Amino acid sequence: MVPPMTAPHHPSQSAGYSLDEITAALKSHFGFSSFRAHQEEIVSAILAGRDVFAALPTGGGKSLCYQLPALLTRGLTVVVSPLISLMKDQVDAARENGIAASFLNSTLEPEEIHRIWRELSKGSIRLLYVAPERLSHPRFRADLASLDVTLFAVDEAHCISEWGHEFRPDYRALGSLRDDFPGVPIAAFTATATRQVQDDVIRQLRLADPVAVRGSFDRAEIYYAVEPKDRVDRQILSFVERHRGEPGIVYRASRASVEKTAAFLSGRGLRAVAYHAGLEPEDRRTRQDTFVLDEVEIVVATIAFGMGIDKSNVRWIVHGDLPRSVEAYYQETGRAARDGEPADTVMFFGPGDIQKIRYHIDRMESDEERERAEGRLREVLRYADSGVCRRKLLLAHFDEEYPGDCGNCDVCTGVVEREDLSVAAQKILSAAHRTGQRFGGHHLADIVTGAATDRILELGHNDLPTFGVGRDRDKKWWLGLLRDLEGAGCLARADGPKSGFRITARGRNVLRGQESFSAARRAAPPAAGRDADAIHDTRLADEERLFECLRSLRLRLARERGLPPYVVFSDKSLRSIARNRPTDEAALLRCHGVGERKLEQYGELFLSLVTHYLDGGGCAES
């Protein structure tokens, strides 16, 4: 139960801040001349001591919303972060922007923990990252109460809701923060939350009269595509080869398929590693680090990989299997293009994916859990099988209306067209019905194509009215239609992949003419995503060469400092530098993401490279 209360208001945040002061800090520390959508509203609410709920898309700048107030106010901002493996990157990025930040977790030695507590007691740390498990411990809370805590920022806040796709029980303890820290405001941030999840998060965290902000979930920079699965490792290879040199993630449904795909890609000369929960923790950490540090291009992973991954230059995402829900799919594809630069995604799926998911659903003990899982499956199948703008369907999940015709998915770019196949569907469904719904695809295809096989003659199926009604198409075409019908939920396997087809309720509607059936027909040859060369062709070749020079310098500096390259500068910043070609400090400061702090650390080296390049010296720094 949520007790009635007034909004908390911390004394140290009572002083007002002018917009000039706030924007000056924004440019000086983060290198941005203006706020992104909703950031100013959130920052102003936090500075006024208000509780906040903010649902912003990945790459929407959530961390800045609590880091900037931490710079401007005295006291300590405590950030709840769900993954220990991410905290170091978050702290490194904050420190690069001139923020006194640290973390406390189980990776630290006792001496280091004592040192951090000494700094906290002196007030020299402004930003402290902790895991929800640590924050729920009574002793830790008691120690924290002795400090001047001015804000709790809860990252990945959807984890507190059982309606969210990544519910974590440890997050539930955060609801009692209001009891132990009654005067401290709480700001909850998430990149994926339905209205139902939003209401639940506000209730569980006991946010008082919060400023609730919902940004658009549209990731306009991401291209979405869906392909029927056919020798999926080769399909993945074809897609990845068009993005050589660009970091990306391949999601697979099982550990075995992760290992198989990673080995397949590595055997073709690609720098790929496998990542799944079956690996030792140290092995998982090492593999994640090699990806974050740009030492490998590709991670092939189960869903164990990715939540909170802060790498901003992921340029593509592949789903080699049907995702478990639309929300999970949105979250996983959203790990691309955090820097706002273009990215490609593709999903490969086939009937076998549906069978595997239904196998797990059938073994769920709770009727309510089974019903939820079935609903998630139906929704993701509608997305995969639809001829409607992909972006329109994704945003509808978050209760956001979108007109369609986005121009940046396979449907809206004309790669996918819908063909009405109602009559053909009725023919093959009739064959399944008249044979007792006991036979598989090859037998049904033989019936409609009029193939007088020994088995058909033995069973007398050559006497059926449907025998030979589909002679105008070959057997391969009819097998493809059966896959489409299964994928659309019109047919289902009775007891596993080798059993016969049974007709579902939707299939009966199609058979009776009460519902039409259409399927995707693709331009030949099929194309998953956009060709990376097509993206690069839109830019001047010389600008692209300078960008690659800047990337090489960034990688060298990052390795010298033990940082992820995107922490030094994002791809978007390098693109801005390559486009504007600054040769003095004032010009460099006008580039995206370059503030006083970055200018002081890296300005001389990057200006030297640009000047040398413009003088015809190539990539070498003068």
Q: By the 8 A CB rule, do 322 and 384 touch?
A: yes
Sort strands 186-190 and 149-154 into parallel, antiparallel or unpaired: parallel
**Residue 31 above 80 pLDDT?**
yes
Laid out side by side, the sheet with 127-130 consists of 101-104, 127-130, 76-80, 149-154, 186-190, 52-55, 211-214
Q: Which helix (H) or strand (E) holds 376?
A: helix 367-385
Can you give the pLDDT at residue 151?
Answer: 96
Express as a percent the part of the chain with pLDDT over 90. 51
Highest-pLDDT range among 9-18, 41-50, 516-525? 41-50
- For 195-218, what is the mean pLDDT? 93
Question: In this predicted structure, what is the pLDDT of residue 486?
Answer: 77
What value does the mean pLDDT take over residues 351-357? 83
pLDDT tens digits for range 535-553: 445 446 888 899 999 999 9
Phi and psi based region of residue 527 (left: phi greater than 0; alpha: psi -120 to 50; beta: remaining):
beta
Whether the predicted pLDDT of 169 surpasses 70: yes
Start-to-end CA distance of the chain, whole Å, equals: 66
Least confident range from 271-275, 305-309, 466-470, 570-574: namely 305-309
Q: Could you identify the residue written with the tokens 């973390």? A: 103
pLDDT band at 524 (very low <50, low <70, confident <90, very high): very low
Question: Which tokens belong to 561?
Answer: 């400092």
CA angle 258, 263, 269 (to 5 degrees): 130
Q: Give residue-wise pLDDT tens across range 43-93.
A: 999 999 999 999 998 877 899 999 999 999 889 999 998 877 778 888 988
Helices (H) and strands (E) in the chain, counts: 27, 18
590-602: pLDDT as tens digits: 999 999 989 999 9
CA angle 97, 103, 107 (to 5 degrees): 130
DSSP 173: G
Tell me the whole-structure pTM to 2 decimals: 0.72
State mean pLDDT over 175-199: 91
Alpha helices in 147-305 (DSSP H): 177-180, 195-205, 232-241, 255-266, 281-292
Domains and CATH numbers, the chain: 11-214 (3.40.50.300), 222-412 (3.40.50.300), 419-522 (1.10.10.10), 539-617 (1.10.150.80)
pLDDT at 582: 94
